[in-house]
Amino acid sequence: MIEIDLDKLAARTAGLIKKSERVVVFSGAGISTESGIPDFRSPGGIWERFNPEDFTCQKFISDAEARRKQWCLFRELSLTAEPNPAHLAIAELFRLGRLDCVITQNVDNLHQRAGAPGDKVFELHGNMQWSICLGCHQRFPVEQIMGRLDKGEEVPDCEICHGVLKPDVVLFGEPLPEKVFREAVKHASRCDLFIVIGSALVIYPAANIPEYALDAGAKLVIINLSPTPLDEKAEFVVKAKAGEFMPKVVQRVKDSVG
């Protein structure tokens, strides 16, 4: 069911949060576009400027030109965005003791920078704040690599073994990190309220996770500007920007406990 009265929907969402024992937030690219990070598939998105075939793990490893293109993109996306009101609202739910965890498809670290506890943020696609050597497995902070790019390097390699250096994110053709995915499924399967924010739920296997919550009997709320395959299974769908809607929800939660 889709409604457009944001105040009414914020009150309903806050009411569900208050009644629930374990609330899980699932976030996608739509929450971070409000911080200036472009998504991939929308008009004007990344895939209008880059060829997705250049962003497979196999091509990254085998083709220096593909690595150059990918580092060019990661340089564009890295270190410039700030948490927006939606990230801050989610962090506030943690501080209020109302949120079990965040499961995110994003790699931008904005949930943590907003104040969400790092051990309660399950990053299905990795974290762009780190790079890893595929040879010796040494990890490097992204600031260090960006500094090298700023000095003119186009394809940085490992400073220790000169192996292939890769942003610590999941590329096409790579499996999701097994431990993180397992933890995400566990928390989804134990929650009683699952809130999707800014995801069209079309990237698998991450998009399967809300189904685990539904199968366990959890209520589903979807906050997303575009339709998703699970809209019909949701208690209600909110077609609004997360940064506009989530602060309204949190304020009503705070009013109820204050």
What would the pLDDT profile of 102-144 be if each residue is shown by its tens digit?
999 999 999 999 999 999 999 999 998 889 999 999 999 988 9
Q: 126: part of which helix (H) or strand (E)?
A: strand 126-133
Virtual torsion, Cα 93, 97, 99, 102, nearest 10 deg? 80
Would you say residue 194 has pLDDT above 90? yes
Average pLDDT on 228-237 reads 96
End-to-end Cα spacing for the chain? 31
Instruction: Report pLDDT for 70.
Output: 84
Instruction: Report pLDDT for 73.
Output: 78
Helices assigned H by DSSP within the chain: 6-19, 29-32, 57-62, 64-77, 85-95, 110-114, 142-150, 178-190, 209-215, 242-257
With 0-12 / 13-18 / 19 or more C-beta atoms within 10 angstroms meaning exposed / middle / buried, residue 154 is middle
Would you say residue 258 has pLDDT above 90? no
For 22-42, letters b (16+ CB in 10 Å) and e give bbbbbbbbbbbbbbebbbeeb
Average pLDDT, rounded, for the chain: 90
What would the pLDDT profile of 137-171 be if each residue is shown by its tens digit?
999 998 899 889 989 999 999 999 999 999 898 88
Would you say residue 205 has pLDDT above 80? yes
Q: What's the predicted TM-score (pTM) here?
A: 0.90
What would the pLDDT profile of 67-93 be if each residue is shown by its tens digit?
888 888 777 765 568 999 999 999 999
Spatial neighbors of 109 by CB under 8 A, at least 6 apart, are: 127, 128, 129
Active site amino acids: 125
Instruction: Report pLDDT for 48.
Output: 57
Average pLDDT on 201-208 reads 92
Instruction: Report pLDDT for 1.
Output: 45
Asked whether 111 and 121 are in contact (CB, 8 A), the reply is: yes
Asked whether 255 and 15 are in contact (CB, 8 A), the reply is: no
Domains for the chain: give ranges and CATH numbers. Answer: 1-37+83-125+176-258 (3.40.50.1220), 38-80+128-169 (3.30.1600.10)
85-95 vs 242-257: helix axis angle to the nearest 10?
30
Average pLDDT on 94-104 reads 97
CA distances, 45 to each of 50, 77, 230, 239 (Å): 9, 12, 24, 20
Instruction: Report pLDDT for 41.
Output: 55
pLDDT above 70 as % of the chain: 90
Average pLDDT on 210-225 reads 97
How many CA atoms does the CB half-sphere of 17 hold within 13 Å?
Answer: 29
What would the pLDDT profile of 8-49 be if each residue is shown by its tens digit?
999 999 999 999 999 999 999 999 989 887 765 555 555 556
